Structure formats: C-alpha cells, structure tokens
Structure 1
Amino acid sequence: MKLKLKKLPLFRMTGLTRSILSYLVVFLFPFLIVSGIWFKTSKDSINQQVTLSARNHLLQLQSAFENNLMQLNDLSHQIPFDNKLSLAQTNHAYYATEGQQSLKKSRLAGSIVADVFLLYYDKPEALFSADGWLSLDVFLKEAKAESFAKNQVAELFQTKVPKLVNLASKTAISKRLYYLVPLQNQDQVAYGTAIYAIKDSSIQQLLDQSTFGEESSNFIVNKQNEVLFHTGKKELLTYLKEKEQLQQVTKKTHVKIEQQDYQIQALDKSSFDLAYISLVDPNNALDSVNQVQRNLLYFIGFILIIGAMVVYVLGRRSYQPMRQLEKLIANYTTQEVKEGEYAPSFVHERIEQFLDENKALHQEIKRQTPHAREQVLRKLIGDRIKTQAQLQLLLDSVHVKLTGQHFFVMTISTKENSLNEFSTEHDLLIEYLQTVKGKGYTAYATEILSTQVIAILVGYEEITGAKRIAEAFHHEIFDLVGLQLTIAIGDPVDNLIEINRSFIEALAALEYAYSQKSQKIIFYDALKDETKKAGIHYPDSEEMKLVQSLTQGDYAVATETIHALIEVGVKQGSPNAQKMFGFYLLNTLTKFASKIDSHDALMVAEKATDFHSLYDLEPNLLQIAQLLCALVQEKPQNKESQLKQELFDFINKNYAASQLSLEWLAEEFDMSVSYLSRFIKKESGLTFSKYIQELRLNKIKQALVETNRPIKDIIRDAGYYDVSNYTRKFRTIVGVTPGQYRTLHQN
C-alpha cells in the first residue's frame, strides 16, 4: 500500500527549487525594473530640486517681505482718516496722548515694525511718535545716524512714493532701515510721511527661513544696488558690497568667488524696487544629492536581500501543502513515481482523478443542504434550539440568513382547496417558498406534516411591516397556484430563538380563521381585540394559543397563556362568574389531557375542582400544563412522529431484504406509494433508493472495520449479490476498494 519513492527526495527538492525560483522571478524582475525607474526618477528629481529650490526660496522670501510692506501701505492709508493723528490734534497738550495711543496700535499692527513716526510737512523739523514729539536731532542720535545731516534727512523723508531707506553709514555692517509711505489728504495732496522703523531681527528671520540649507546665501538689494539684508557667508557679502560686482552677478548664472564656484538665482526688481539674489555652493549641494543617492542604493539593496529571504520562506511554505499531498497520495496508491517525473504534475493527476471519482459525492452534499435547512427550521419553530450560539451555528451551516431585527411566522393549511401533498399546486407552492427575498425582508418555509400546515419564517425590518409582507405573499401565491389561501400570522418577536411563540400564535389564528370562514389574512394580534361577548368573556385567541402550546409541548408559552387567562378571568366581576371562568379553563386542559391519555393530569384536574379563587386555581393549572407538555415531549403523539419512528425502524431491520421496495412499505403501512416517497425524502433528504443505498453502504463499512468476515459475505448480507459489480461501485463512491478500506481503517 505504500508508495515506492526512491527518487522522491529529488522530486521534492526539484519541486521546492522550482517553487522558490518561480517566486524569485515574479519578485525580482518587477522589483529591478521598478527600482531602476524609481532610482533614476529620484536622482533627477533631487538634482532638479537643487536647481529650483533656491529660486523657490527666493520667491517665498519676496512674497513674505513684500506682503509685510503692503500691509504697511494699507496701514498708512488709514492714518489720514484718523482725526487723532492730525497735526492740530498732535500739537494739542491734551489730545496728543490719544494720537500716541493710535500710533502704538499702528506699531503693533506690523509684524516687522519696531517703531512708527509721523513727519508733517508743516513741521519738518520734528517727528511725532508713540512717545510724543521729538526733534530730528534726537531722532538721528537715537537711530545712530549722526553721519546724516538734519536737512538731508528731512528732505529724504519728504517722499512722494513708498520707499526703503538706509540711515546707516556706508561702511557700517548693520543697517538702519526705514520704510517711508507718503500721507495724502482727501484731495490726494501729500501732507506728511509715515516712517516705519524696520526690525532687523524680523527680516533676518525671513531670510533664514528662505535659505536652501548652509550651501546658499540670500540677499535683498535696492535699486541703488545696495545690499539691504543678507544671510549666509560673510565673504560673499564683502564681494557683493561693490555695486559693479553686484551688477555683474545679476546677469550671470555662475560666479567664482575666492576660488569657489557658485550658482546664481536672481529675481528682477519688483514694484518696490527690490531685487532678490541667491548664491548656492553646488559642491555642497551635490554632496547632499550623492548622500541621498547612496542611501537609496543601500535601501534598494536591503529590500532586495529581505525580498530574497521572503521569497525563500514563501517558496518553502507554499510547497508544504504539496508535500502533504504527496504523503497523503502515497497512502492511497500503489503507483510508482518514475524517475525524472515532476512531483506536482503527479499530484495534480491524482487529485484530478480523485475529484472525478468523488464528483457524485459533492453533488449529493449539495442536494442535502435543502433537507438540512428544513430540519433546522423545524427544530427552531419547535423550540428545540435553546442557545443563541447553537442557533447561529446551525443557521450558518445551512446558509439561512433571516435579515432584519424582527421575526414572525405565517401558516398556510395544506387541507384547504385540495392543497394536499399530491397536488401540482402543492409542489409549486413548496418550491416557491424555499427561499423568498423581498425589499426589507427574507423568508424560509418548511412543511409540518403533523399539523398539515406550511410554516413560513420571516425576518424583516420594522419599516417594512408584517401586514405588507403578508399581503405580498397572498398576491404572489394567488398568481402562482390560482388559490385564495388563508394566511395566519403570529405576533412578531425580537429574538429569533423565541420564534416558536409566533408559530403557536399563527396556528391559533389559523384555527380561528377556519371557524370564521371569512378572512383570508388574519393576525393573531387582531384576535385579542375581538368584541367581548355577553356574559362571561372567554377569549378564543388565548384559548386556541393555550391548546396549540400544549400540542407543541411548549410549557413556557403555556405558562404565559394561563397567567394571561387568569388575569382576564379576575376581571369578569362577581365570584360566581370567576368560578365559572375557572371551570371553563380547567375543562380546556381536561379535554386535552383526555385526548392524549394523561391520567396524571386528569387526577390533578379532579382535585383542582374544589378551588376558591382563580389565583387558587392557577398553580394546579400550571401543574396540569407541565404534565401535558412533558408527555408530549416524551412520547411522539402525532402521526408524523409515529410514522417516522416506525417506518425507519422497519427499514433498518429489513434493509438487506430482496423484496424491500416502496410498494412493499406502502402495503405494510397501509399508505400510498406517493405519500411514502415524499415522506422519506422530507425526513431523510434522500430518495428511497438513495437512502437504501447509503444505509447498505454504511452497514458494509461498519462490517469491514469491525469484523474479519470475508468481503463477499459482507456485501451479500447487505443485499447485493453481484459482488464484483458492487466492488467497482464501492470504489467509485468511496475512492478505494473494500479491501483497501478495511486496511486503512482497521487498527
């Protein structure tokens, strides 16, 4: 039975090697192509970034600096409209303080402003500030601009256009920059100048933020080719202090300063007559690029190594199932692997052969699903599933998904309008109700032979409504079979595991509908609102629900119903009326006890007749209900359960008989062949012939494993007399011969 594999290690190694190589090829070529494209793109992008970054930073510098100057322009345009800052007000001994406060606000409004001064043409020898009036001499002294004459500064301040001026000496390294904005009255006539002292630290911060690392130096130049601000290397500032040198630099793309090459980026003078220049050391910039490139190469190499390791691991892991299949096939075949044969191909052939031989088995499993689904649904409405976990497991196994948060049961009787199990309409209806899906609801149906009803379980969204669903079913059924069938609906429940309550109520509503012979759609909830009868009121809906709960053996529902009936009886009025109500209720349980021959329940009922109040009677009624439900659960009391037990017991005893057939069973049980055929299919999920075949096969398997009897005797004792023909059939079904099956499964 074992596979002869002298060359199997070679085949396994070959298969493993090919598996790893296939992964490697799939990984390596795309990775190398993508990595090459990525590396080249990254390199070009970084080189381009070095070239454009200086210009981008210059644009940022220009935008930031000139936006600040524009804010000062806007601020200056508001000053003529401020009466507190008129010359008359600022000269007033009292109102001058208000003008000082306004200037303090103006000083705070500009982020690059250190102080604000106002020069009035009618008083050119003094400036008005937030601290009051000060003479030009004092201003020049405080500004450390003593090298400028007072009349020269006064003339400089009387400008007609906004401009930046530098009051520092030409040899000074630091700057004393002031931004001058003319003040105009309503007639657009200049009457003064707003003078803003610029913070060196603010401008320096803008320059520092706009530099391209330590390799670049940025400069702000006025129209006189004077460097107003700069950042970076001092030797570059020394070089550019000469106006001739500065003019040449702005016309070039590269310049050599102190044996060092620099790349030049320059922005033309703007509306403020300012130019922006950046000098970049390309060698230092390329060092950064080269470092990035080296890092990229290291990263690609690292990814390549990790990828190769992952490929190796994936190759081994992906080949593990193949090895397991080889071992498994070796236990079920005597075929020898030829030298040089590729193992995966061999495994593929064996699996294909196995699947072909077991195709019938897979089809049979698929056919069994509807039967299993029906069994689960019958367990559910019969209250034989007790836990939510068990319920979910069973529903998932048979692919049942009741959508929505609410659930109820509809019942249709198979006794009305010739809708019996032999009619064409019956078959059409059962096929239609297997699974019904509509907008906002899903439904599944199962036929309950014992009560001769079709139970339809419905899950729905609250917005859909049970009434709309019932009406849709009624119209669909009429269109399908041409019959106006009565549909009874139980109250909805929020938990699917409690659906048996709705089923019992639907049965009660169906029974009530037959007594009325009028309504085609009846809700159990509507029965509870029925008009009270004269005299003692005994609600038919609750009575029928009680009888149905006892019929189903559901003590929980019976308890609730008895308690509800007791409360109704208490409201009857006089003690005599309540007592008559109690006897009526006791009589209902007694009749059911007599029907199922429950002597214990009848004895309790006899003792319970001597009661004083309904509350005194209730414990006895609950005891009777408990005895009745226990008896129903213990003993099969309906035709369906009795037939199932007796029929399958008979088949199990006579499975090997040569005369076993549907006709023989129909004669033994005094039933029609059609009914027995449908009943066996419903209870087992298999046709009669298929059920007998499966039963005999299981008996043969059991005998092969548990005994050492000759195989031919086991097959003949199971009802097959052509041993060789059945041996071939056994191999087709099971995959191995009877002898191989015994060898594999015997200890």
Structure 2
Amino acid sequence: MKRNYFKSKLFLKYIWSYLFILLIPLVLMTIFIYQNAVTNLRSEIEQSRLNQLTQTKVIIDGRMKELSEIASRVSYDKRLTPYRVHDPYFSGEAIQALDQYKATSSIIGEMLLYFHKDNNIYSAKGLSSLDVFAGSFSFRNWNKETIFQDLNSVKFPTMRPADTVIRNSYLQDSMLAYLVPITPYSPNPHGTIMYLIKESELTSLIDSVLGNYQGLTYILDNKGQILVDNRQGEALTNAEAKSLFGLSPGIHDKILNGKPHSIVSVTSENNGWTYVTVMPSAQFFSSVVHVRSFIIMLFMIVVLVGAAIALMLARMQYQPISTLVEFANSKSKPKHTADESAAAGNELDRIRTALQEYSSRVDLQEPYARNHFLSMLLKYGNAQSLTPELQEAFDLHFDRTHHFVIVIGWDEMDTQDDRQERQEMIELLAQIEFPELAAHAYGVELPQLDQLALIISFNMIQAEQEFTPIRHIVEAVRSSMLETFDVTPTIGVGTCYFSPDQLNQSFIEACSAFELRASGGHGSVTYFEKLLDTPDHTFWIPNNSLMKLSQSLKQGSYDVAAQMISPSIRSLQSSELSALLKRCICFDILNTMLKTASELGIHNLIQEMAPNMIYTHSLDEMEIGFLNLASRICNQVERNNQKEEQSQIDKIVSYIDDHYMDHTLSLETIAFEFAISPSHVSRSFKEKMGLNFIQYIWQKRLEEVTRLLKTTNAPLKDIIIQVGYLDTPNFIRKFKKETGYTPGQYRKLFWENGHARPVSDLDDE
C-alpha cells in the first residue's frame, strides 16, 4: 500500500521550505552563478595556461640543455680538435662529424664551429672564412665585427634575440643565434659553437603545447630582451612587452594598451628566461555567452516549475526518513501503529526512540564482544590491538606497571539458583577495583562453566617486594568471593609481567598452577612462581618451565612453547656440561612434549618425529626438531579444538531444532545444557554458522510459521505462540519485513489451491 506523504506534517514542511529556498533567492543565485561561472572559467583557463606554459618551458629548457650537451660532446670529440679541423687530411672527417651532431636536434637550423683568433668558421657544409659567412648570413642587427667579437669573447651560453637574416642574398628568415663556448662553463674556452635556430621552430613548439590559445606569447632572456615574439591578435609595444620582465611566476592582472589583460608568467630555473602569455580579460566574458543564455533559460524554467521541483526534492528528502520510520516500526515495539505514530508526532522522534532501543540492545551484546576480545588477549597476548576506541567502548585500561592472570574455579553449579549465583559472580568479577592496592581486574569467561580468568593490573610500590602485592590482591579476590557468595574458590596464579603483551604467558602459567589444585586440596591457592626446583639440580630444566611448556601445548599456544624451548636450549649451549649430560637434559623437554602429546591423543607425531630427534647430533638440530614438534602439536590441538567446537555446534543446532518452539530457549539455557559459557556459545555459533544465535532461532520460527500458514487454518495468534514467540504484533512486523507480506496476506496467497493473487487484491490486516 502506497504511503500518503501529504498526511505528514513533516513532508509538508519540506515542500514549503524548498519553495522558499528556490523562489525567494532565485535572482541573487542567478547573479552569483553567472559571476561564479565567469570566475571559475577564467581560473580554469588561466590555470590551464599556466600548466601549458610550464610544459613549454620544460620542453624548451630541454632543447637548450640538449644543445649544451652537443657542444660539450663536440669539445671532447677528437675529430673536432683545432689540429684535425685545420689539417686538410682530417678536415673532411670533421665536417662530417659536425653534420652528425647537427642531425641530433630537430631545432638546429645551422651549426657552426669557431676557434678563437681563427679567420675561418666551420659548418656541416664545409669550411668558410668569416667574410664569406657574413655574406651568406646577413643579420639585420648583428654586423660582422660584432659577430667576430662575440665569437671570441663569449664565456657563457648566450642566446641572441630573434633577428631577420638574409641568407645567400635572397632568402629571408627570422632566426636566433645561440652561442655556447667550448668547453662549456670553462673559464678559458678555446672556441665557440654557434647554433642558428629559426624562430618558427620555437613558436611551433609553443603553439603545439598551447593549442588553440588566442593571445600573445613572449620569451624574454635573463636581461629582459625579447627572444621570441609569438603574436596572435593585438600586438604590444616594445616597451610594454619588456615591462613583462620581472613578473613573479604565476597569474597576474595588468593594464596594457589601456585595457585589462590576464598575464601568466613562468621563469626557468636553468637559464633565467621568462615565458609570458598575455590575453585580454574581455575574452573571458565572450567565452561564457552560452553560460549566460543557459542561466536565463534556467531562471525561466525554475519560475515555471518551481513548485514541481520543490515537490520532488521534498519527496527525495522525506523518503529516507519514511524508510527509517518503517524500519524502526518493524524492528521495535511501539505502543501505536506506524500511521498513528506519524499522525501523532514527528517521524524524527520515532526514529530517535528506535535508536535508543537499538542502543539498549547493543549494550546487551557488549559483554559478549568484550569477553571475546579479552579471550583473544589471553590466547595471543597482543595488547597493542587494543585501540583507544576499544578501550573506551569496553572500559579497559592497561596503564599500570605490572600485570598477571589468575584462574578461578569452583564446584559445578547444576540448580537454577546455582546458575543465578554464577551469573552474579561473573557480573561481580567483570570489572573489580582494589583502590587500596592500586589494582583493578577484568573477568574473562572461560569455556568451562566452573572456571573464570581474571586479568589483574596494578602499580608496584618501590619499597615492596614483587610477590607481596600479588598475594594481597589474590587474597582480596578470594575474600570477596567468600563474603559475597559463600564460595571457596580454587585459584591458580600466573607470573607477574611488566607488559600486557605477556598476559598469554601468565595465563598459561595460571592454568598450569590451577591444574595442581588436586594436590593442594579444594579451595587452595597455587602460585606458579612458588613451583620451585630442587636446589641441588639447578642445571636441569626447571620443573615449572616444563609444566608451562606442557600447558602451552595443551592450550595450542606455540609462541609460549617456543619461549620455553629456545631459552632452555641456549642456556645448555652456554653451560660447561658434558655433551652426554646436555643430551640427557634435552630428553626432559622431549619427554614432556611426548607425554603431553600422548595425553592429548596425538600419537602419530610421536612415531613420526621422535626417532629423528633422538639421533640428532647437535643442540641446534634438537632445538629445530623441538620447535617443529611443538608447532605440529599446537596445530593439531587447534584442529582438534575446531573439530570439537564444530561437533558441539552441530549438537547445539540439533538441540535448537528440537526446542526452538520453547519460548524459554535462550543463550543461557543452551550454555548450561552443554556446560559451556554463554559468551563461548555466542562466539562459536556465529563463527561456525555465519549468523548469530537469535537470528537462527528467528529463521526456524519463521519457517515453521510459513509452513503452518500454508497447511492449517489455525488462528494466527495461536500459530505465533505455538512456535515460541509471545509478542504477536512485533512478530507480524518482522514477518512483513522478511517476506513483504503480512501473515494474513501470505496465507491468502498460498491457501487457495496454491494459486497466488496480487497483494493489491487482498485486505490489509
């Protein structure tokens, strides 16, 4: 059924708002758009011209560098030494070499070689005297005497401005003369290379980069002389053109010939030349005639169809809100229907209420996420993954100086009262403070229902011994449980470390100490640090290290196992014991690993790897073998755990399939049924099934409802209650969200001989 937007006061407000926005400031917007279009277009053109001019500079600089490199190669070419050039026998080879150098650059019109105080000049065409050269190349502003003086005196690469040259008495062309002393940049050059470059070669380079640019382009040398004048349009006077010299690189506005002009300037870092383009500012406005016409047309259209545009925009603006309202109605439990809510109040208030409900649901899931993260911290010890956002979300802080883990166990709880007491115990230990001991602790649910880990962080007072505050904290935890729940816990305490990254080691040690609770009796406290060795056998592997190694293998923690094996082997290598005794001591490690593997039911590794390690020849080989064996055991433990979890999840899924119609079915009932913690059930179920516990139960109930709607005529409320869902209105909203139909529509679609009819023909419920 289509929603009537005009019944919504919020939708009508949007329409009036858009009408006001579109019609009132329309004239001001038109003026602004036009000015902005002109400004943006001008900025784009100027920026494009700046980029093109920079590209032109790079290309021409590259060509000039190319000419300097040619001159440098000429100066070191043995064929072009003064001796060989003057020698009749080698002169032909020298002329050929000049011709080869000339061919390497496309912009060279002519290339000439002159040696100081010589009366001859050499080109790719042959030898000629200066008089003959002056007759062949007659410069309008560069006479023979000046040419001779410049050829003998130039010490730095020098470009002469474009000049009219009459060649062979009848050919006229505009050319630039580029003089490069050889050797280049030498304080005492012995000659000069003169390149004659047609001005058209440089202007064609400029035109090829600037494209269809209509304006003036100049290249000025580092003294302000105009080297190249490329005119397209109105020309500037010589004085105005020279005034362009000295402008800073970038875009400028300047009055030339009494008119505003846009000037773009770029300066070469290599030779100090200035590249300038000049364009009348009026051309920018002629470029936006089409924009002006378009704005006038747009003005007329907006005036005529403003109401329609306002309606469309209001609908676009309101549609997401309407969708959010429908979503909020389908996911929450309102007191009224969606239409009543929209009529009675603002849709935004309804969305706000839904968000508050979702926030409360997130708060319910937060303990599971927090426990999952802390479980990963106990397993891998990577406290660096705790970002500030996670710290704030989970209210976790590891800013104290010392950290350790304790494992707490108690008698199994079977009755409902026991379960309630266990939940209260978990809530108490989830986060507990000991201000007088400068310590705080975070509880972590372990997979076993009768066990809990506690991560403790505290600040050590310098005057105290390290073990003293640990004992006080453990006693405080034990006393708190005794006073609050009358429970005598069994506690295993791991070693204290400076970094929270080592909490996985402390957890392994706490598990090792906890396993010894049988020897200590019920309610005992076992400190891993107190599991000392016999003083007379200090050169053997410590018992607590072997115990920690065994526990790390049982937990599948290869990192901790490697930290037990490698240091032990290295300490043996540095000892002065005999090789036989060292080997015997190593067998302690091997026996511990093999015994642990046997306890875990991993027998194939013993047969595969143990014989090879017995016959190894060095401690290094034994260390590699031990680490490999530890890795194999840990990997097998991980695989076994995954198989066990999968098998357990299969049993849980089967249990849900049999009991999903029970409205009391919950995460907690599943946890106690299978003797594992709720957080472990939640995490494992999502990992294995791809959807969470609540979603799976909803899908099962939905499937059963759809089946009953198709096959029975039982009342809808009875069907919903029958599948274990007590909130009928909420179920109907979720059903429509999932299928697109209400339950009544769905039944009518599939009830009559299985022939579906359009939903529009059905009555709404």
- What is the TM-score of this pair, normalised by structure 2? 0.45
- What is the TM-score of this pair, normalised by structure 1? 0.46
| Rg larger for | 1
